[in-house]
């Protein structure tokens, strides 16, 4: 599962080498039985793309909502040779990303990186990296609410049946409501997708800008919801289609201007307020992508 | 016309020791409206819910003559197939509109849900159909984007009917469709229902405790008491000349104004 891409000299320099492992912890914090249980759930999830597999989620040393689901998956798939990258809203230097990266540096003693191409495992919250992923890489998503039908049909017994019977009229009711109230499909994140013509899936709160990247992606995509104790997956090269109407097709966000740091026109931009006079700038949310582009330019 | 549309044989349903339905059999013919009357607790609603596939009877043989004259065994049917039937050829109007509507989405979405569940993926077409049905049940088309909770009780009930009829079902189950509505609203709703049923050539099974409703809508009447059918016949016949003691009591207890 963890095939490491051939290390090029350039990549060597951007990997922070393995650190001393804290001997008081088992490798990657979780005990081996737990990892085995999670791996079994992962195998099932990969075998049935988009299907939510229940698993016995453990308490992690962080609150629910901080990525306990993603951390448990990462802990279960890490090997000592892996190179880990953690991003939060696309950035490597945000609290959530830094703390999770440190957590695995300490408990697994593995190498880490900020570079998308150099990583073998990328744990993410709310974004898919702009740089194309490759075969052998694993993208682990942190998922708050795995059930796309939750707010329309609160009964779990009912939603599970709806998934099993492919009874998904309700999902379009939400999109219909968007159009009737806003004139267009106003869902901008956690935009529902259909995986391999069967299961409707919540892609976690990534912007819909990232939805097309999930389709036919060479990397393995794993989704972990810690509070709700569900795991689901998209195997490499799987068909992922965003739901829409014939006369209101799926569209991704677009901006009037490029990134003000690196000039990228093809990346997801964050709006940053600069002062209290209303000045603002638009910059790439993917910090690694933005930085590597600026370095090439300078 | 030589086959019943819907046929129930030996239906029984118990809740613990309580017998809700005891060995009930009847046929429904195409284009016919069957009324089921009886006092509360007599098993009417349980019978309706059992035959409509909402709850599982302990024992029953239920057959339905589907489109293309295919005879379907409802009691043995897989759940996905049953659900498909329920959202295409059948309809179920609940007593309380809140049970049959989605209260947190607009009227248009409520009507459109069945269409979208049946594969409609064109927004404008869905909307046109929703407007058509709102008008058919006498709700102002301007209210299409309003939530059902801003509607009056009578309007909610009419919306529920529109939501159910939008896929042109052949068989409609109604559980006290006029319960909880005031008399003038009831009268309009009954008028509307009668018109729709006649125009669309629907067959219907209507549960009610209101004999006036039964008289207005149904061709045939079944009187239930303690989970059993105690009388069965043409509506006028049962109401004019009730045979069973309980039916006589029921008919004589209608308030005369």
Q: A73-89 pLDDT, tens per residue? A: 999 999 999 999 999 99
Cβ contact B105–A177 (<8 Å): yes
Provide φ and ψ at B73, rounded to 5°: -90, 100
Q: Is A67 a catalytic residue?
A: no
Residue among A158, A173, A186 with most chain B CBs within 10 A, to mutate: A173
Cβ contact B117–A168 (<8 Å): yes
| pLDDT at residue A17 in the model | 84
Model confidence at B211, in pLDDT bands (50, 70, 90)?
confident
Percentage of residues in chain A with pLDDT exceeding 70? 96
Cβ contact A176–B80 (<8 Å): no
Q: What mean pLDDT is predicted for residues A55-73?
A: 94
Could you report the per-residue pLDDT of A273-282, keeping only the tens digit for each?
999 999 999 9
What ipTM was reported for this prediction?
A: 0.86
Could you tell me which residue, A236 or B253, shows the higher pLDDT? A236
Q: What mean pLDDT is predicted for residues A182-195?
A: 94
Residues in chain B closer than 8 A to A172 (CB atoms): 116, 121
Nearest to A173 among B87, B109, B122 (CB): B109
Model confidence at A295, in pLDDT bands (50, 70, 90)?
confident
B123 interfaces chain A, CB cutoff of 8 Å: yes
Nearest residue of chain A to residue B81 (CA atoms)? A165
| pLDDT at residue A9 in the model | 43
Cβ contact B122–A246 (<8 Å): yes
Helices marked H in chain B: 44-51, 79-88, 97-100, 107-117, 123-136, 153-165, 183-200, 211-217, 235-240, 245-252
Q: What mean pLDDT is predicted for residues A236-242?
A: 97
Model confidence at A297, in pLDDT bands (50, 70, 90)?
confident
Rounded CA-CA distance A31/B235 in Å is 73
pLDDT greater than 80 at residue B59: yes
How many beta-carbon pairs below 8 A join chains A and B? 59
Q: Report which secondary-structure segment, H or E, holds A96.
A: helix A95-108
Rounded CA-CA distance B12/B25 in Å is 10
| pLDDT at residue A131 in the model | 94
Could you tell me which residue, B189 or A54, shows the higher pLDDT? A54
Q: Cβ distance A1 to A74 under 8 Å?
A: no
Cβ contact B123–A161 (<8 Å): no
Sequence-distant (≥ 6) Cβ neighbours of residue A280 within 8 angstroms:
A271, A272, A273, A274
Could you tell me which residue, B252 or A3, shows the higher pLDDT? B252
Cβ contact B121–A172 (<8 Å): yes
**CA distance to A48, A146, B108, per residue, from A198 (Å):** 10, 16, 27
Sheet holding A121-125, edge to edge: A15-16, A111-113, A83-88, A121-125, A138-142, A220-225, A230-234, A53-54
Rounded CA-CA distance A17/A40 in Å is 30
A181 interfaces chain B, CB cutoff of 8 Å: yes
**CA distance to A30, B100, B108, per residue, from B130 (Å):** 54, 17, 6
Could you report the per-residue pLDDT of B127-184, keeping only the tens digit for each?
999 999 999 888 999 999 999 999 998 899 999 999 999 998 999 999 998 877 788 8
Instruction: Please tell me the distance in Å from A249's CA to the nearest CA on chain B.
Output: 10
Cβ contact B113–A179 (<8 Å): no
pLDDT greater than 70 at residue A39: yes
| pLDDT at residue A7 in the model | 45
Q: Is A70 a catalytic residue?
A: no
Nearest residue of chain B to residue A164 (CA atoms)? B80
Q: Is A90 a catalytic residue?
A: no
Could you report the per-residue pLDDT of B62-120, keeping only the tens digit for each?
999 988 888 899 989 999 999 999 999 999 999 999 999 999 999 999 999 999 999 99
| pLDDT at residue A35 in the model | 97
Residue among A177, A198, A248 with most chain B CBs within 10 A, to mutate: A177
A241 interfaces chain B, CB cutoff of 8 Å: no
pLDDT greater than 70 at residue B48: yes
| pLDDT at residue A11 in the model | 45
Nearest residue of chain A to residue B111 (CA atoms)? A173
Residues in chain A closer than 8 A to B112 (CB atoms): 173, 176
Instruction: Please tell me the distance in Å from A49's CA to the nearest CA on chain B.
Output: 21
Cβ contact A173–B124 (<8 Å): no
| pLDDT at residue B195 in the model | 86
Nearest to A245 among B114, B117, B121 (CB): B121
Nearest to B124 among A173, A181, A247 (CB): A247
């Amino acid at each position: 599962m963890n095939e490491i891409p051939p290390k090029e000299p350039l990549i060597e320099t951007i990997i922070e080498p393995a650190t001393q492992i804290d001997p008081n912890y088992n490798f990657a914090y979780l005990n081996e039985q737990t990892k085995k249980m999670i791996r079994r759930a992962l195998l099932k999830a990969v075998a049935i793309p988009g299907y939510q597999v229940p698993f016995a989620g453990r308490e992690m040393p962080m609150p629910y909502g901080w990525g306990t689901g993603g951390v448990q998956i990462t802990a279960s798939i890490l090997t000592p040779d892996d190179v880990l990258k953690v991003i939060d809203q696309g950035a490597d230097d945000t609290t959530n990303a830094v703390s999770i990266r440190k957590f695995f540096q300490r408990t697994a003693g593995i190498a880490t990186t900020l570079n998308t191409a150099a990583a073998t495992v990328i744990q993410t919250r709310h974004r898919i990296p702009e740089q194309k992923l490759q075969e052998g890489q694993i993208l682990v998503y942190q998922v708050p609410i795995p059930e796309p039908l939750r707010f329309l049909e609160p009964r779990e017994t009912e939603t599970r049946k709806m998934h099993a019977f492919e009874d998904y009229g309700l999902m379009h009711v939400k999109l219909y409501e968007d159009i009737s109230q806003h004139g267009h499909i106003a869902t901008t994140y956690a935009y529902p997708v259909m995986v391999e013509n069967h299961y409707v899936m919540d892609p976690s709160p990534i912007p819909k800008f990232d939805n097309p990247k999930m389709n036919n992606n060479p990397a393995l995509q794993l989704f972990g919801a810690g509070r709700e104790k569900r795991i689901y997956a998209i195997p490499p090269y799987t068909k992922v289609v965003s739901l829409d109407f014939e006369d209101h097709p799926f569209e991704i966000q677009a901006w009037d201007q490029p990134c003000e740091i690196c000039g990228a026109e093809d990346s997801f931009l964050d709006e940053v307020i600069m002062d209290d006079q209303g000045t603002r700038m638009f910059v790439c949310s993917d910090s690694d992508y933005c930085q590597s582009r600026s370095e090439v330019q300078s | 016309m030589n086959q019943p549309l819907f046929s129930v044989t030996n239906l029984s349903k118990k809740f613990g020791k309580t017998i809700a339905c005891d060995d009930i059999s009847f046929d429904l013919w195409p284009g016919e409206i069957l009324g089921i009357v009886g006092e509360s607790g007599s098993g009417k609603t349980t019978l309706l819910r059992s035959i409509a596939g909402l709850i599982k009877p302990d024992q029953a043989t239920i057959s339905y003559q589907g489109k293309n004259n295919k005879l379907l065994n409802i009691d043995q049917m897989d759940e996905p197939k049953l659900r498909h039937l329920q959202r295409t050829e059948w309809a179920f109007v609940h007593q309380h509109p809140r049970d049959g509507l989605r209260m947190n989405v607009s009227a248009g979405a409520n009507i459109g849900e069945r269409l979208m569940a049946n594969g409609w993926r064109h927004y404008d077409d869905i909307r046109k159909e929703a407007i058509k049905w709102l008008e058919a049940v006498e709700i102002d088309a301007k209210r299409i984007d309003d939530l059902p909770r801003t509607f009056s009780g009578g309007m909610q009930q009419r919306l529920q009917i529109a939501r159910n009829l939008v896929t042109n079902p052949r068989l409609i189950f109604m559980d006290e469709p006029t319960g909880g509505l005031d008399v003038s609203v009831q009268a309009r709703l009954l008028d509307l229902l009668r018109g729709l049923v006649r125009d669309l050539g629907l067959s219907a099974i209507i549960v009610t405790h209101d004999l006036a409703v039964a008289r207005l809508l149904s061709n045939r009447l079944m009187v239930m008491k303690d989970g059993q059918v105690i009388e069965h016949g043409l509506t006028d016949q049962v109401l004019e000349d009730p045979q069973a003691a309980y039916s006589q009591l029921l008919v004589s207890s209608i308030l005369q104004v």
